[in-house]
Structure 1
Amino acid sequence: MAKKTEATVEEKLRALYDLQLIDSRVDEIRNVRGELPLEVEDLEDEVQGLKTRIDKLKTDVETINYEISAKKNLIEESKALIKKYSEQQKNVRNSREFNSLSKEIEFQELEIQLAEKNIKEFKAQIEQKKEVISETKEKLTEREAHLKHKKSELDAILAETEKEEKALLKKSEEFEEKIEERLVKAYKRIRHNVKNGLAVVPVERGASGGSFFTIPPQVQVEIASRKKIITDEHSGRILVDPKLAEEEQEKMEALFAKI
């Protein structure tokens, strides 16, 4: 038969508490990282968004410059037509032809006025967009510097903790294999349901670790006997006696020191 089936209740409790100590150590490492990975991700998205905005504004400026060129060409065409119609007026045979050419000249003059007005408006748009580009570039420079700082901060933490975290996760898997599947599932369920991830806790000052609810003396005696797995009726956590907890903490601290 497999060893985990033959294990005594005390051995199961020790294995569960060891597993808890390993997983709590992993939690500590991840808490050190905290929100940094998400911060870095958000900053990367923001930087990309600013770059996209700058590119779009530059494209807008190019489009407006093209429109200005088109209007300038129109002005030159209108001026050429005015010159042409003015020359034709010198050779007209009657006032009707003269008036018709005058209307054409007047129309081209209005076209020039409108084109000049459009050019003025386009230039104002370019100035406004260039101002926004300048402001966006400043913001981009600031956000890129912030991102660089946060990335180096994250990289430093990862360099310090990644190796330890991987080793601990491997240990966590090894210790899980020593415990029967039913208990591992119960442990994981409790760990998932409690805020601080503590599924196995020692009795402290007559209450379960982190709780203010007193455990009856008779139950405390049962916990200390290590003959059955007992859970806290309020939190659902698995309870171990302080002496066992102390012994396992010392053992695991020695193991952590080697990682």
Structure 2
Amino acid sequence: MAKKEVTVEEKLRALFDLQLIDSRVDEIKNVRGELPLEVEDLEDEVAGLNTRMEKLNDDLSQIDDNIKGKKILIEEAKTLIKKYNDQQKNVRNNREFNSLSKEVEFQELEIQLAEKHIKEFKAQIEQKKEVISETKEKLTERQTHLKHKKSELDDILKETEKEEQALIAKSEEFEKQIEERLVNAYKRIRGSVKNGLAVVPIERGASGGSYFTIPPQVQMEIAARKKIITDEHSGRILVDPNLANEEREKMAKIFSKI
């Protein structure tokens, strides 16, 4: 049995139906708007703040270790001072006494330097704690904001996901009814126009969404539905208003069941 040939009118109807389905999917995506990107940006920001918190806490830990190291150095220096002072009591000459005095002086300088470093480290700790407090506050605020935005997105997804999936399946189903060459042309036009409208009806003598008037002769050819005609300005595929209205009514019934 020979395969029934698809008429140009049937092709135009199928293309306009496909456009109506894809436009409905676009509407659903527009409802979500920038939310998915906002959520992604917030997740990145929260992750960055968590990393910063970890780095700041590691810095604090390192400074604590540095202070401990300086305190050990001070205790060692004090032990050496005591040792040198005890040795000075048993020296045999001034040269040995002076040598030990220099050692004591050196250890005293080591203690002063270590105490200076400890003071600097403690100042760094206060500074770090201040930054940690600010970062923690910002992190809490961003986490709360993220939770709110995620909840908002989840609510929209719950409302629209089922319909979107059904429409995408319907779009694929309708694509199979149209020859590949036309589907590719449709997708190419859809990708090149801002609102994603590749198939539009004539409205008030012009291409839908356009201000360029279509000559009466071309309008008659479009209404005859004998060949696929594109708008010379936008490249969109054109259909007559009657066909568009009939297909809108038909697809509205399909949409109401999804």
Q: CA deviation at 1:198?
A: 0.5
Q: CA deviation at 1:2?
A: 3.7
Q: Which residue of 1 aligns with 2:195?
A: 196
Q: Which residue of 2 aligns with 1:152?
A: 151
Q: Which residue of 1 aligns with 2:236?
A: 237
Counterpart Cα distance in 1 of 2:117 and 2:82: 23
Q: Which residue of 2 aligns with 1:179?
A: 178
Counterpart Cα distance in 2 of 1:181 and 1:96: 104
Aligned length: 257
Counterpart Cα distance in 1 of 2:99 and 2:3: 110
Q: CA deviation at 1:10?
A: 1.1
Q: Give runs of aligned pairs for residues 33-44 of structure 1, distance below 5 A.
A: 33-44=32-43
**AA of the residue aligned to 1:113:** Q
Q: CA deviation at 1:12?
A: 1.0
Q: CA deviation at 1:245?
A: 0.5
Q: Which residue of 1 aligns with 2:249?
A: 250
Q: CA deviation at 1:193?
A: 1.3
SS at match of 2:95: helix
Q: Which residue of 2 aligns with 1:74?
A: 73
The answer for unaligned runs of 5 or more in structure 1 is: none
**AA of the residue aligned to 1:224:** A
Counterpart Cα distance in 2 of 1:91 and 1:2: 120
Q: Which residue of 2 aligns with 1:29?
A: 28
Q: CA deviation at 1:80?
A: 1.0
SS at match of 2:238: strand
What are the superposed Cα offsets for residues 86-127 of structure 1, whole Å, 9 maximum, x if unpaired? 111112121111111111111111010000001000111111
**AA of the residue aligned to 2:17:** D
Q: Which residue of 2 aligns with 1:162?
A: 161
TM-score, length-scaled by structure 1: 0.97
Q: CA deviation at 1:141?
A: 0.2
The answer for unaligned runs of 5 or more in structure 2 is: none
Q: CA deviation at 1:191?
A: 1.0
SS at match of 1:203: strand
Q: Give runs of aligned pairs for residues 23-102 of structure 1, distance below 5 A.
A: 23-102=22-101
**AA of the residue aligned to 1:17:** F
Distance 1:175-1:14 versus aligned 2 partners, 3 A rule: same
Q: Which residue of 2 aligns with 1:119?
A: 118
**AA of the residue aligned to 1:12:** K
Q: Which residue of 2 aligns with 1:217?
A: 216
Query: Where does structure 1 differ by over 4 angstroms across 4 or more consecutive aligned residues?
Result: none
TM-score, length-scaled by structure 2: 0.97
Q: CA deviation at 1:196?
A: 0.8
**AA of the residue aligned to 1:21:** L
Identical-residue share of aligned pairs (%): 81
Counterpart Cα distance in 2 of 1:124 and 1:113: 17
Counterpart Cα distance in 1 of 2:87 and 2:232: 107
